[in-house]
Amino acid sequence: MDEGWTRWVFDQYKNELPGIRLNYSSVTDFDIRAGNLELKLVAKGTQVPYPTKEQAEAATKSASPGGDQYTGQWETVPFRDRPDAGGALQEGWIVVSKSPVVTGLDIREASARPSEWARSEYQIDFSLTPDGATRFADATGRHVGDHLAIVVNKEVKSAPYLHSQIKGHAQISGNFTKQSAEDLARTLGDLRARFDCIIIPAQSSQQIVNGLSKDRYPSDVAGGLGQAGVDTLKKFVEDGGTIITLNEASQFAIDKLGVPVKNVLEGVPSKEFYCPGSILKIKLDTTSPLTRGAPLLESTRDESIAWVEGSLAFETTSPDARVIARFADANELLLSGWLLGGEKLANKAAIVEVKRGKGRIVMFAFRPQYRGQSIATLPFLFNAIATSATQ
């Protein structure tokens, strides 16, 4: 929700969705970046960390390739050990393998708990999937005595020493407070185990994937989901989760999530299609649970309205994509406001539900929650949320 309307919507609808508990927690960029966690081996005999990038790059060039799949090539990455529990901040550069041993996608469960050695500090316990556990045991068994780098969003957070082989369960320790340990543990656990539904608000595909420039912004806010984050979302859906994309974010679903849907307005200039904020007529598939309880226009059984600014226009290319709502015919599409090129929008899909694995992606061509006042289209959004728990 944008423009401060989150609380109004929760207060307005919290008693109208039986069986659904609404709360104010949300999926953060940190959650989706679970796939951007990588555990990588540190080059044998190199310093942890080097004070300058130049020193680390020189060490990277001179480091010999290892004799296994984990240490064939090396790269230089930033190092920033967490000072959360009061320890001195360590910053620098470190030489790690290009190929990770395991990533966030291999983590099955993760939790934060007080450290056994310092009660003021916290550690993260985690377990791996069977395939991840096999690779981790092999790599750590081969590299006892080396360092293992904990890499989050291309930055090393710590590089503990490997005292022995690690099998299916392990701990990440360091200068973690309770909050920072819980935040990191939250990124490692299975996304599907914690959420039924993820809503991606109106934002361009480029902004979602790439985010803010790493050259201009601090590392803790720079960057987007990246390919690893996209893969995490794909797995979330395959495992039974629901993703809901609003307006421009539906282009992200087309570009990156592989939905069998086209946006026929992509690349159309504003001189040919322009909708600055108007009320348009839509026709509903009233047999779908997503349209349950939606208000209809008088004297009709399947027509409603949507507030549209900009817009996408969908065409489906597979039976896996079901049209839930369409824009009306060109001669009756505009109900209030101004619209240029309405024929390009006419009869195109406005809401689409795409099945993927055990889950689905619900795509809106408009913003159903605009300013919290879209009482005609809010039911579509909340029905999508309410039915996600049954997927």
If asked whether residues 227 and 358 sit together in one domain, one would say yes
Identify the residue whose tokens are 């069977």. 130
Could you tell me the two tokens for 251? 């282009």
- pLDDT tens-digit series, residues 292-301: 999 999 888 9
What is the CATH number for 73?
Answer: 3.30.1360.200
Which of 68, 87, 76, 192 shows the shortest CA–CA distance to 129?
A: 192
Q: Choose the final residue of a domain: 169, 190, 211.
A: 190
Residue 221: per-residue pLDDT? 72
Estimate to the nearest angstrom the gap between the alpha carbon of 49 and the chain centroid.
31
What is the CATH number for 303?
Answer: 3.40.50.880
| Total residues found in the chain within this entry | 391
If asked whether residues 171 and 199 sit together in one domain, one would say no
Q: What is the pTM of this model?
A: 0.68
User: Would 1 be classed as within a structural domain?
Assistant: no
- pLDDT tens-digit series, residues 198-227: 999 999 999 999 888 878 887 667 778 888
Q: Choose the final residue of a domain: 160, 190, 220.
A: 190
Angle made by CA atoms 249, 20, 286, in degrees to the nearest 5: 65
Q: Choose the final residue of a domain: 144, 168, 190.
A: 190
User: Would 92 be classed as within a structural domain?
Assistant: yes
- pLDDT tens-digit series, residues 40-60: 999 999 999 999 999 999 999
- Band (26; pLDDT cuts 50, 70, 90): very low
Q: In sequence order, what are the residues at sequence separation of 6 or more whose Cβ sits closer than 8 angstroms to the Cβ of residue 243?
A: 197, 198, 199, 200, 233, 236, 237, 253, 257, 359, 360, 361, 362
- pLDDT tens-digit series, residues 108-126: 788 888 877 766 778 888 8
Q: In sequence order, what are the residues at sequence separation of 6 or more whose Cβ sits closer than 8 angstroms to the Cβ of residue 18?
A: none
If asked whether residues 12 and 48 sit together in one domain, one would say no
If asked whether residues 385 and 265 sit together in one domain, one would say yes
- In this prediction, what percent of the chain has a pLDDT beyond 70? 85
Put the strands of the sheet holding 148-152 in their side by side order. Answer: 90-97, 74-81, 155-158, 148-152, 37-41, 102-103
If asked whether residues 18 and 64 sit together in one domain, one would say no
If asked whether residues 206 and 351 sit together in one domain, one would say yes
Q: Are 345 and 228 in contact (CB under 8 A)?
A: no
Task: Give the count of alpha carbons within 13 A of 1, CB side only.
Answer: 19
Report how many domains make up the chain: 2
If asked whether residues 246 and 233 sit together in one domain, one would say yes
- pLDDT tens-digit series, residues 143-195: 999 999 988 778 888 888 888 898 878 877 666 778 777 777 776 666 787 78
Q: Are 263 and 250 in contact (CB under 8 A)?
A: yes
Q: Which residue range is the domain that position 90 belongs to?
A: 31-190
Distance, CA of 263 to CA of 23 (rounded, Å): 33
> Residue 260 in 3-state DSSP?
coil
Residue 193: per-residue pLDDT? 73
If asked whether residues 186 and 242 sit together in one domain, one would say no
Residue 28: per-residue pLDDT? 45
